[in-house]
Amino acid sequence: MSNSLRITPLGPHIGAEISGLTLAEPLSGQLFELIQQALLTHQVLFFREQPITPLSQRALAHRFGDLHIHPVYPHAPEAEEIIVLDTHHDNPPDNDNWHTDVTFIETPPALAILAAKQLPPVGGDTLWASGIAAFEGLSPQLQQLLAGLEAEHDFTKSFPAHRHNASPAEYRRWQEAAARHPPLRHPVVRTHPLSGRQALFVNEGFTTRLPNLPTQESEALLAFLFRHIARPEYQVRWRWRENDIAIWDNRVTQHYANADYLPARRIMHRATVLGDKPFWRAS
Ligand code: SIN
């Protein structure tokens, strides 16, 4: 392994920058293992100066597992697994809320790889929050209550019909996606399948209710949890430069794409690696 390889933590709970490797080239087994271990520790990793084509990004992501094809977002012409998030005045972003990617499926992504292609002159940072730190920040009494609960996740909360009806074809695609993704349930507290650590696993983007509780209790508890996970203590914020790459563990984090840059344009490419069915196991 190169002597110049360096891992610099960006905070006590979440985030590290890694330098001294090239993600566009096939990773050795040793480097791949190092990234896996760093993800378990830091949950989101940042890499500067990593120009990458959609095909190389797909190959990199594929090292980690099978890839998800998004039901409504557009993709790169050469790789349907690479989502293109091209936002500007006429296409404002829809990810300026705290969310974990694609929790509306049975096996939500294990991780995601995001590449910065075109950035606004200023702004457009992304923030990540650690579900592990957020869970550990709760009282033992509340941790115990949450550990037995389930939450409902709904595709249409982040992808409502009115944002996907610009043309009949787009609306048809949305209708098919909504029909294929009815609301489903995941545990409110999730055990990481590799580290065994517990993480809060509700997100404002997709979580609609706690079906084991009466409506008013569900609303009040979710409102508290959404506020709790957004505390700066649990976060890291990344100021992008073009050709930066971020890789995050989507099982135990959520993120917020700051929409402060409009009407300027921002283009990001995301590859999304499928994960396993979330479960909770007592520690
Ligand atoms: C995402 O929400 O997955 C992408 C975040 C970003 O565009 O910064």
pLDDT 10s digits, 209-250 = 999 999 999 999 999 999 999 999 999 999 999 999 999 999
Task: Report how far residue 173's alpha carbon sits from residue 99's, in angstroms, rounded to the nearest whole number.
Answer: 22
Mutate which of 75, 126, 236, 269 for ligand 1? The one with the most ligand atoms within 8 Å of its CB, which is 126
Instruction: Give residue 2's pLDDT band: very low, low, confident or very high (50, 70, 90).
Output: low
The answer to whether the CB of 240 falls within 8 A of the CB of 124 is yes
pTM tops 0.85, yes or no: yes
257: Cβ below 6 Å to ligand 1?
Answer: yes
CB atoms within 10 A of CB 52: 23
Going through 71-210 in order, the beta strands assigned E by DSSP cover 75-76, 79-87, 111-118, 126-130, 150-153, 184-187, 189-191, 198-200, 207-209
251 included as an active-site residue: no
163-175 burial by CB neighbour count: b if 16+ within 10 A, else e? ebeeeeeeeeebe
Q: Are 32 and 63 in contact (CB under 8 A)?
A: yes
Among residues 13, 48, 24, 20, which one has the least CA distance to residue 34?
Answer: 20
CA 35 to each of CA 31, 135, 153, 166: distance values in angstroms, whole numbers, following the listed order: 6, 24, 30, 41
> Which of 153, 209, 266, 270 is flagged as catalytic?
270
Examine the residue annotation and report whether 185 is marked as an active-site residue of this protein: no
How many residues in total does the chain contain? 283
For position 237, what pLDDT does the model report? 98
Mean pLDDT of the 82-107 span: 97
Atom nearest to 85 CA in ligand 1: 7
Q: Which of 68, 99, 164, 186 is catalytic?
A: 99
Q: Look at residues 17, 82, 74, 12 and name the one whose alpha carbon lies nearest to residue 44.
A: 17
pLDDT in tens, 168-182: 999 999 999 999 999
Taking the centre of ligand 1 as the mean of its atom positions, its distance from the CA of residue 230, in whole angstroms, is 16
The band of 283, judged by pLDDT with boundaries at 50, 70 and 90, is confident
Neighbours of 276 (CB within 10 A): 13
Nearest ligand 1 atom to alpha carbon 258: 8
Which pLDDT belongs to residue 3? 66
Residue 151, classed as helix, strand or coil, is strand
